[in-house]
Structure 1
Amino acid sequence: MYQTLLTDLQEGILTITINRPDKMNALNKDVVAELGQVLEEVYNNNDIKSVLLTGAGEKAFVAGADISEFTALDAAGGAALAQKGADLVFNKIENCPKPVIAAVNGFSLGGGCELAMSCHFRTASENAKFGQPEVNLGLIPGYGGTQRLTQLIGKGKAMELMITADMVGADEAKALGLVNHVFPLADLIGETRKILLKIQTKAPVAVAKAIACVNDAAKGNQDGFANEIKRFGECFATEDMKEGATAFLEKRKAVFAGK
């Protein structure tokens, strides 16, 4: 079905593997287009409850963008490339009502770091490395990296990484808040699946609203508090809230329908 992606749906988790190991899974226009396609399915297929995004092989999650596609672009072309990526993939992942976790299995650089950061949070293997080395190419991140890295780790460290092009390893990335958990490579996918399976036992409508509210906060949305109140109220109109409250009072496990 896809030329550059592998997809596997089990227990409600859609695992999306970027599959260009010979190119360190670099993002090119085909990968971006196919990620856009698979995200449409994520949004529309009720059998998909959550997403695990990773890279093929043991070396790279996504080691960057395909630079060979850049050389012919002018200013307008570069801006159009970045806009297309934002619309098709990066903003779609960030705003997805279903949880999307990046399982970072190696190099996560440039566009790859940006792809990981657009996910709701990140796990990493012990050999993972993160960085935004675009200034080495006379560029800056164009897929939201300047904004999301600053949101995640703060201005000072984001500034340093962006203008030195330095990389950080998995443990430092965890200390900075860029990743939530570090696992041995062999355990990365299994442990990340466990987190998603736990999330899938929670009320899906509430999870979606929590994602939206946290995104508001990260972006400094001045309507964040008002949006939280509105969404909190909307939860009271759901079957899930009635089930959750009843189950709590009856001292049993809630079974959520996602309605």
Structure 2
Amino acid sequence: MTQAYVTSTIEEQIATIEFFHPAHNSLPSDILAKLANTITEVGQNDEVLVIVLKSGGQRTFCAGASFKELISIQNETEGEAFFSGFANVINAMRKCPKFIIGRVQGKTVGGGVGLASSMDYCMATKYASIKLSELNLGIGPFVVGPAVERKLGVSGMSQIAIDANTFYSSDWALQKGLFTQVFDSTEALDEAVQDFAKNLCAYNPEAVKEMKQMFWRGTEDWDELLQERAKISGRLVLSEFTKEKLKRFK
């Protein structure tokens, strides 16, 4: 398929949510909104015990924000609205009462690192290097920052945020605790994700819900915090610096 989509399927109490965009799985507003809504709906479905979140295609898990949409932002309101899309997905994952397993098959940039950081348990291939490239564009990883910092610590997050040109290896991400396991192939990853998801189905859903709240303790203000961060990004994307940078990507 070459059209962007978000799908969800339920099999044996495991829900698989998949997103795709032909531009390296970059995320425009409509896909972000569908993703947030799908995570919320599936999380409320009593038939579902575990969620697997993945992207389509082979090479890239997620290229982050849609450049096409970034270039077209005209004012601060539009800017805030666009970056709120990432905030809404992260908050949907945070509030979801089910464990979300991440399946990261390839390179992950910007907002994609935020998604990976918001998984409750994230598995990847050796090709899944990560980069926070936002500073290159004159903005910063403001919206995803709290999620990335929660997983990598301030030290790890600041390292990749400042070194915005460099892809950090899947092994680095494994050592820092972003990934739980790294596999040599997508086939091995898929097998491990399915086996793990099946194991999680044996747990008491009430215990899972309580544990999820425990793991995310201290993030109760993220509805407001991530919205404030979206305002910062929405303002910076209109700066002359960023406009010049984005022109080169056209």
Retained in 1: the 8 A contact 2:116–2:178?
no
Q: 3-state DSSP class of the match of 1:216?
A: coil
Tell me the SS of whatever aligns to 1:7: strand
Verify: 1:83 aligned to 2:84, yes or no. Answer: yes
Q: Secondary structure at the match of 1:71?
A: helix
Q: Does 1:189 align with 2:190?
A: yes
Q: 1:220 to 1:93 in 2, by over 3 A?
A: closer
Q: How far is 1:193 from its partner?
A: 1.7
* Partner residue, 2:202: 201
Find the counterpart in structure 1 of residue 160 from structure 2: 161
Kindly report the root-mean-square deviation, in angstroms, between the aligned alpha carbons of the 2 structures: 2.0
Alignment-mate amino acid for residue 68 of structure 2: S
Equivalent AA in structure 2 for residue 158 of structure 1: M
Counterpart of 2:170 in structure 1: which amino acid? A
Deviations 1:121-174 (A, max 9, x none): 21101111112110111111243x211222212222211210111221111110
Q: Is the 8 A contact 1:4 1:30 kept in 2?
A: no
**Counterpart amino acid of residue 158 in structure 2:** M
Deviation at 1:220, TM superposition (A): 9.5
Greater length-normalized contact order (CA 8 Å, ≥ 6 residues apart)? 2
Paired residue for 1:36?
36
Contact 1:28 1:69 in 2 (8 A): yes
Specify the alignment match of 1:66 in structure 2. 66
Instruction: Report what 1:216 is aligned to.
Output: 217
User: Counterparts in 2 of 1:223-234, with a 5 A limit?
Assistant: none
**Does the aligned pair in 2 maintain the 1:82–1:142 contact within 8 Å?**
no
Per-residue deviation, residues 190-218 of structure 1 (Å, max 9, x unmatched): 2012112111111110111001011105x
CA shift at 1:49, angstroms?
1.4
Instruction: Please say which structure displays the higher CA radius of gyration.
Output: 1
Structure 1 residues 91-121: Cα deviation after superposition (integer angstroms, max 9, x where no partner): 0112210111111010111111111112212
Q: Which residue of 2 aligns with 1:7?
A: 8
The Cα of 1:183 is off from its aligned counterpart by: 1.5
Which region of structure 1 is more displaced relative to structure 2, 32-41 or 172-181? 32-41
Separation in structure 2 between the aligned mates of residue 90 and residue 160 of structure 1, nearest angstrom: 21
Instruction: Provide the residue aligned with 1:148 in structure 2.
Output: 147
Partner of 1:167, secondary structure, is coil
Tell me, what secondary structure is at the counterpart of 1:23? coil
Q: How many equivalent residue pairs? A: 216
Distance 2:60 2:175 in 1: 21
Runs of at least 4 residues of structure 1 off by over 6 A? none
Give the share of equivalent positions with the same residue, in percent. Answer: 26
Q: What is the one-letter code of the residue matched to 2:162?
A: I
SS at match of 2:198: helix
In the alignment, the residues of structure 2 paired with residue 39 and residue 82 of structure 1 have an alpha-carbon distance, to the nearest angstrom, of 18
Residue number in structure 1 paired with 2:108: 108
- Could you tell me whether the CA contact under 8 Å between 2:33 and 2:85 is conserved in 1? no
Aligned partners of 2:131 and 2:85: how far apart in 1?
22
- Report the TM-score, using the length of structure 2 for normalisation: 0.80
Matching residue of 2:172:
172
Partner of 1:45: 45
* SS of corresponding position for 1:40: helix
